Amino acid sequence: MRSDHIKLGVERAPHRSLLKAIGYTDEELSRPLIGVCNSFNEVIPGHIHLRQIAEAVKAGIRLAGGTPVEYGAIGVCDGIAMGHEGMKYSLPSRELIADSCETMVQAHQLDGVVYIPNCDKVVPGMLMAACRVDIPAIFVSGGPMASRTVGGRGLDLNSVFEAVGALKAGAIDETELKFVEDNACPGCGSCSGMFTANSMNCLTEVLGLALPGNGTVAATEAARIRLAKETGMRIMTLVERDIKPSDIVTRGAMLNAFTADMALGCSSNSLLHLKAIANERGLTLDLREINEISERTPNLCRLAPAGAHHVQDLDAVGGIPMLLTELLAHGVIDGLVMTCTGKTLGENLAGRKFVPNPVIRPFGDPYAKTGGLAILFGNLAADGSVVKRSAVAPEMQTHTGPARVFDSEDEAIAAIYAGKINNGDVVVIRYEGPKGGPGMREMLSPTSAIAGMGLDKSVALITDGRFSGATRGASIGHVCPEAADGGLIALVEEGDRITIDIPNYSVTLDVSDAVLAERRKRWTPRPPRIKKGYLARYAKLVAPASEGAVLKA
């Protein structure tokens, strides 16, 4: 056992003494030491109940003959961080989480780890750490928040952001806004649509690092506690058989994740995170491959914000296993990949049959013949950009309009709320990339304001930053190269025509090369916005979004 390095032999008497100071007995120290990495805090609603999940995990570990060792991990609530300087820390927190998880496992020579994430960057940060350290590991999330149906409409966090836009447009009054505010988030769990947290928790299941139900069983259900206990027991099997993330997260598993992503219509942020996880595994995935996957994978689900269903509805019809059963039956995923059950994905799904239902459409009758995400290239995004096309209205799949240019999210929001954006405009928000932001802010406020004002079917947004999984509309993010690196987005001027063609995977600035060359001569790099602290270091080390915005060695 790895933990023998800290507990075996006379030379380790001081180490055992310190462990006994915590209360561990000789019997407990003779067993495998299993890390329980719990991201509980009292800021994120998706994490407020994780102490209970951790206790269930620890019970499972003890039942199976291990000794649990719990420790914490930080987390940022993207909803609370949204729309101000705090959002600059969200994506960078992923690297801190990965580094801290690596540190705890390596410094204390643990034999295996159960990771307990729930929201946004915690899930990919822990996945990156699991792949980097490569000891037996398994995940169990806190589960999704319930969505309440009030007055015939399903409410979620996005409803509140859009209600703000509706108030600004005069479509509702403050009483209505207060009603939505009080009812949209009814309790613990990750926000209930197919936003980033739920996307990544579902994809963790697809990757094979979590048991069935991880992505969809509600936070408040007893089934979530049982799943946590089963996860605690399962890590002991993985330790005994020495099944590691490198055995599970193979290229085939990564391609399965991208395929399921397309079928589910996940958050565009999942692209950043899957690329970062692949980087930890040393796997190369070209962005153009994503479009190839999209071409052969129909969009089978339209969960909020793309449709009326929520994650609880997906769970009710069989969850991720039901979706994978249909995808496997049509040969678009690899059933031979290993999973944390100790069996292949195909073995896990053996005997299952797809049952047509209102949430997951049959392969032959999809919402769209192509996947939920699209990677757009063109002179405005030579190295790629991403759009959640499953949440784009049909009339905005192709669009040409005048650029309305803003050098920060704050400037754009002010203009939107002031009613200065018109039908047909293309809002360009730049210097918000990983380096230029720094931190690549997620922009739910401007997209929700536009939707709330009823402009989401006539106005597009383009940015080198990123968009929330709750975003709907023609919102194109991750534009690379970013403005801070001298990307073409830095040269866009007010009134320039921009053409978006999602079916043909392109986004183009309709300005001649000669004019752009003259603008290039006049362009100078902007000085860093932040000159000290973690974000200053992050800006110096971060790779482009096309590479997953990982930190360069």
Give the contacts of 484 (CB within 8 A, at least 6 positions apart): 431, 433, 435, 436, 464, 490, 525, 526
Would you put residue 7 in left (φ > 0), alpha (ψ -120 to 50) or beta? alpha
Collapse the DSSP code of 272 into the 3-class scheme (helix H, G, I; strand E, B; otherwise coil) and give the result: helix
What's the token pair of residue 102?
């690596």
Contact between residue 62 and residue 137 where contact means Cβ atoms under 8 Å apart:
no
Q: Which amino acid is at 190?
A: S
54: phi then psi, degrees, rounded to nearest 5: -65, -40
CA 486 to chain centre: 27
From residue 553, how far is each of 280, 538, 543 by CA, in Å? 12, 12, 10
Would you put residue 83 in left (φ > 0), alpha (ψ -120 to 50) or beta? left
Residue 505 CB: number of other CB atoms within 10 A?
Answer: 21
Q: What radius of gyration, in Å, describes the C-alpha atoms of the chain?
A: 23
Max CA pair span of the chain: 76
Catalytic site positions: 468
DSSP secondary structure letter of residue 335: T
CA dihedral for 308, 196, 499, 376, sign (positive or negative)? negative
382: phi then psi, degrees, rounded to nearest 5: -60, -35
Q: How far is the C-alpha of 481 from the C-alpha of 383, rounded, in Å? A: 6
- Count of alpha carbons within 13 angstroms of residue 470, beta-carbon side: 26
Collapse the DSSP code of 169 into the 3-class scheme (helix H, G, I; strand E, B; otherwise coil) and give the result: coil
Number of helical (H) and strand (E) elements in the chain, helices listed first: 22, 14
Q: How far is the C-alpha of 305 from the C-alpha of 311, rounded, in Å? A: 11
Collapse the DSSP code of 415 into the 3-class scheme (helix H, G, I; strand E, B; otherwise coil) and give the result: helix
Q: Which of 508, 327, 500 is CA-nearest to residue 400?
A: 500
CA 545 to chain centre: 14
Residue 531 CB: number of other CB atoms within 10 A?
Answer: 9
